[in-house]
Amino acid sequence: MGVNTTSRRIILWILNATAAFVGIWALVFPRGFSDAFPGFGFAAWVGHDGPYNEHLIRDVGALYLALLAAGVVAALQRRVDAAIAVGAAWLVFSVPHLGYHVAHLEDLSVLDAVAQSVALAAPIVLSIPLLVPARAARTTTAGTTTELEHTR
């Protein structure tokens, strides 16, 4: 299998940071997550969407931490196949997640609606490059194998 490029690892670490932020907050402080997520001066994007459900919010936190665990393994292994699997998992989660929220923007301000949509689209945009397979290896005249995929 090919080696992850620097850009793949950067994407994985960005997704990992996102997963850690959401996952830890939702799993450890579910009420605070419901009442204040995403913070940073935005309106609460979770609490306006039905009654508080501790079980559901903790499950979402655990899901994000599962994505984090897979992402950390992929980043540390530096294998393209691991990055592809993590990219696929993020897409399977993120596409319907974005779809739901875009269909339910009515209670948000225009700023919050735009910010939420951009925030939820970001993992999709970041995941797509992870799905690109590595280029085939080639053998040099010296008999060593090199990756054709760029390392930067």
Rounded to a whole number, what is the distance in angstroms from the first to the last CA of the chain?
Answer: 18
Write out pLDDT tens, residues 41-63.
Answer: 888 899 888 899 999 999 999 99
Percent of the chain with pLDDT over 90: 74
Q: How far is CA 87 from CA 7, 62, 70, 152, in A?
A: 13, 18, 10, 19
| pLDDT of 4 higher than 80 | no
Q: How far is CA 45 from CA 19, 32, 37, 107, 115, in A?
A: 17, 12, 6, 9, 10
> What's the confidence (pLDDT) of residue 139?
59
> What's the confidence (pLDDT) of residue 1?
45
25-29, 125-129, 137-141: the lowest-pLDDT one: 137-141
Residues contacting 124, CB < 8 A, separation 6+: 90, 91, 94, 95, 98
